[in-house]
Structure 1
Amino acid sequence: MDLTLGTPSLLFPAVSLLLLAYTNRFLALASLIRDLQARYSSTPRRNLLEQIDNLRRRVRLIQYMQAAGVGSLLACVASMFLLFGGFVLVARWLFGLSLILMMVSLGLSVREIWISVNAINIQLAELESEE
């Protein structure tokens, strides 16, 4: 396989969009955490603690997702730099690393989605118990 400067540059839009999506998730969670904290301060309930614990795990996963995404972008840029310098073998390895980091980021994203579904189920259980 020929690795040219154009090959790693194909990853830029994908990683940029992923990081934007992860940032949006993080901001939404931060807002939700502040809201839950205010609700728990006024009316302490067990299900709010479960939701807060769930959000803590999700925020940690988003942190790891973002770190893997940024690592992917850095490895991609380093790969391009090495290609520019004529170090093709090392550039290939770094590009492979950037792809692996992208897969890690996406895998963590799937895990975070599963946890968010669990949070919705906690909310739905609360609604069902009120009826």
Structure 2
Amino acid sequence: MIDITTPALLFPALSLLLLAYTNRFITLANLIRQLHRESREEGEEHVNMVYSQIRNLQRRIFLIKIMQMFGVLSLLLCVVTMFLLFFSVRPVAEVVFALSLVSMITSLGYSLAELRISVTALNLQLSDLEGGCPDHP
């Protein structure tokens, strides 16, 4: 059995989660703007050189959009749950709250996928840098 405080407990977690997703999005947006400026300055050959990075950024932006959508849906369903509990519609509230939890799990799953892509890209850049170091065998 859940009461009205149960979905309210998720509010801080969901708010922080959405803030983290927004920060990821802003970071990617700034990187894309930087790449766009560089491509304008350096021309088409620069765009061809960073094509794989552009594809990576497109996938990450897509995943962040999905993460945010499911995060917002989870928050919305928590509010609906509280509304239903306030009006004593407990069976429906429990189903809606379960859907909220599923939405949050889905959002976190997409977050893991985006994180994996991000770490893979960083490791590729690090290995490229490491290969160019004079002390590296």
TM-score of the two chains, using structure 1 as the length reference? 0.91
Over alpha carbons, which structure has the higher Rg?
Answer: 2
1:53-68 to structure 2, matched below 5 A, reads 53-68=55-70
Q: Which runs of 4+ in 1 moved over 6 A?
A: none
- Which whole-Å deviations, capped at 9, do the CAs of 1:78-101 have from their partners, x for residues lacking one? 011001111100000000000010
Does the CA-based 8 Å contact 1:18-1:69 persist in structure 2?
Answer: yes
Which is further off, 104-113 or 45-54?
A: 45-54
**In 2, distance between residues paired with 1:119 and 1:59?**
14
Look up the match of 2:107.
105
**In 2, distance between residues paired with 1:116 and 1:93?**
35
SS for the counterpart of 2:123 is helix
Does the CA-based 8 Å contact 1:47-1:122 persist in structure 2?
Answer: no
SS for the counterpart of 2:96 is helix
**In 1, distance between residues paired with 2:118 and 2:95?**
35
**In 1, distance between residues paired with 2:28 and 2:132?**
25
Look up the match of 1:40.
39
Look up the match of 1:124.
126
Aligned residues: 130
**In 2, distance between residues paired with 1:30 and 1:99?**
29
**Corresponding residue to 1:92 among 71, 79, 94:** 94
Gaps of 5+ in 2: none
1:6-21 to structure 2, matched below 5 A, reads 6-21=5-20
Letter in 1 for 2:6: T
Letter in 1 for 2:5: G
TM-score of the two chains, using structure 2 as the length reference? 0.87
**In 2, distance between residues paired with 1:125 and 1:9?**
45
Letter in 1 for 2:109: G
**In 2, distance between residues paired with 1:112 and 1:81?**
33
**CA apart distance, 1:121:** 2.8
SS for the counterpart of 1:44 is helix
Which is further off, 104-113 or 115-124?
A: 115-124
